[in-house]
């Protein structure tokens, strides 16, 4: 299903409110609407394939999610909200995702034009990981933050992605005892969880490579995180996390 528009730009909140009641169910958790024509084969890649790879535990731990596929998204300027753009915006103002306020259901707008499917999948899973990080259980929070404290105690270098890397560096610079429960630590822990969960979800669905570099944490510590997430959020039947699990099947 698609909509016609006479204007090339719409505030994301207006579009979300307009189509919240017209979402098409995909599962008990996910529904969608598309603002542009998309062939069924492409919808499988955008929606069906990434959704069926999500752990059932995650699907029951987050609010209902409405996915809205749009051509382009344009960054707001502080005074104005992000915009759905039907014409390509300047690269400096282009966004891959925008999340309007509200959780009935939680709306996630994703740009699809001129986006590689691998990049789209990363953005999709990062949006889901962000939702999980806002609703993670006390047990998940305790177990993940305990693992972070062990890493900080042994001065493990690196992180999974840029945002958690920068928050980790801020924590190391500004806090003497980096394992203390402070706002700095909580902000870092939540972002680290979100970035690691994004990698976990993306890797469960797709064959991806972890980029190496001076900011990347050593693989043995990354594996410990992924093993914890696998215990907290087991993948659906038929999906594996680590390559050696394929040999056991």
Q: Per mean pLDDT, which range of 22-26, 152-156, 158-162, 244-248 is the poorest?
A: 244-248
Q: How far apart are CA 129 and CA 36, in angstroms?
A: 26
**Coarse DSSP helix, strand, coil percentages of the chain, rounded to the nearest 5 percent:** 50, 15, 35
So what's the pLDDT on residue 81? Answer: 85
Looking at the fold, whether 149 and 229 belong to one and the same domain comes out as yes
- The pLDDT tens digits for 45-91 are 999 999 999 999 999 999 999 999 999 999 987 667 899 999 999 98
So what's the pLDDT on residue 222? Answer: 94
Length of the chain: 249
Q: How far is CA 233 from CA 139, 140, 205, 226, in A?
A: 12, 9, 14, 10
Residue 6: pLDDT band (50, 70, 90) is very low
* Domain final residue, candidates 102, 117, 133: 133
- Give the chain's mean pLDDT: 90
Helix H, strand E, coil C: the string for 112-134 is CCCCCHHHHHHHHHHHHHHHHHH
Residues near 68 by beta carbon (within 8 Å), at least 6 away in sequence = 15, 16, 19, 32, 33, 34, 35, 107, 108, 109, 110
Looking at the fold, whether 66 and 101 belong to one and the same domain comes out as yes
The dihedrals phi and psi of 72, each to the nearest 5 degrees, come to -140, 160
Q: Domain for residue 115, yes or no? A: yes
* Domain final residue, candidates 111, 133, 155: 133
Looking at the fold, whether 126 and 174 belong to one and the same domain comes out as no
Looking at the fold, whether 152 and 81 belong to one and the same domain comes out as no
105 close to 145: Cβ distance less than 8 angstroms = no
- The pLDDT tens digits for 189-245 are 999 999 999 999 999 998 777 676 678 899 999 999 999 999 999 999 988 887 666
Looking at the fold, whether 24 and 127 belong to one and the same domain comes out as yes
* Domain final residue, candidates 109, 133, 157: 133
Residue 20: pLDDT band (50, 70, 90) is confident
So what's the pLDDT on residue 19? Answer: 87
Q: Domain for residue 3, yes or no? A: no
Residue 29: pLDDT band (50, 70, 90) is very high
20 versus 80: which is more confidently predicted?
A: 20
193 close to 229: Cβ distance less than 8 angstroms = no
Q: How far apart are CA 63 and CA 80, in angstroms?
A: 27
> Angle 100-104-110 (CA atoms, 0-180°, nearest 5)?
40
- The pLDDT tens digits for 117-145 are 999 999 999 999 999 999 999 999 999 99
Tokens of 115: 């986006």
Q: How far is CA 122 from CA 12, 166, 195, in A?
A: 21, 20, 10
Domain hosting 227: range is 138-248
- The pLDDT tens digits for 189-204 are 999 999 999 999 999 9
Residues near 138 by beta carbon (within 8 Å), at least 6 away in sequence = none
* Cα dihedral value 100, 208, 26, 249, nearest 10: -150
């Amino acid at each position: 299903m698609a909509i016609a528009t006479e204007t090339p730009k719409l505030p994301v909140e207006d579009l979300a409110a307009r189509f919240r009641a017209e979402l098409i169910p995909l599962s008990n958790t996910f529904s969608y609407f598309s603002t542009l024509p998309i062939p069924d084969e492409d919808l499988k890649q955008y929606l069906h394939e990434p959704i069926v790879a999500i752990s059932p535990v995650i699907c029951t731990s987050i609010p209902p999610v409405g996915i809205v596929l749009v051509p382009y998204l344009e960054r707001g300027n502080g005074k104005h909200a992000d915009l759905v753009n039907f014409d390509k915006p300047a690269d400096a103002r282009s966004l891959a995702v925008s999340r309007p306020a509200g959780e009935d259901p939680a709306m996630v707008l994703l740009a699809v034009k001129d986006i590689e499917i691998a990049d789209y999948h990363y953005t999709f899973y990062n949006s889901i990981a962000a939702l999980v990080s806002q609703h993670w259980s006390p047990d998940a929070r305790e177990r993940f933050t305990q693992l972070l404290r062990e890493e900080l105690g042994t001065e493990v270098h690196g992180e999974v992605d840029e945002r958690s890397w920068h928050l980790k560096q801020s924590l190391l610079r500004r806090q003497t005892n980096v394992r203390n429960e402070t706002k700095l630590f909580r902000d870092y822990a939540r972002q680290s969880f979100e970035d690691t969960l994004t990698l976990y979800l993306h890797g469960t669905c797709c064959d991806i490579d972890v980029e190496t570099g001076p900011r990347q944490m050593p693989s043995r510590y990354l594996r410990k995180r992924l093993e914890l997430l696998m215990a907290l959020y087991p993948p659906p039947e038929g999906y594996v996390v680590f390559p050696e699990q394929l040999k056991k099947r």
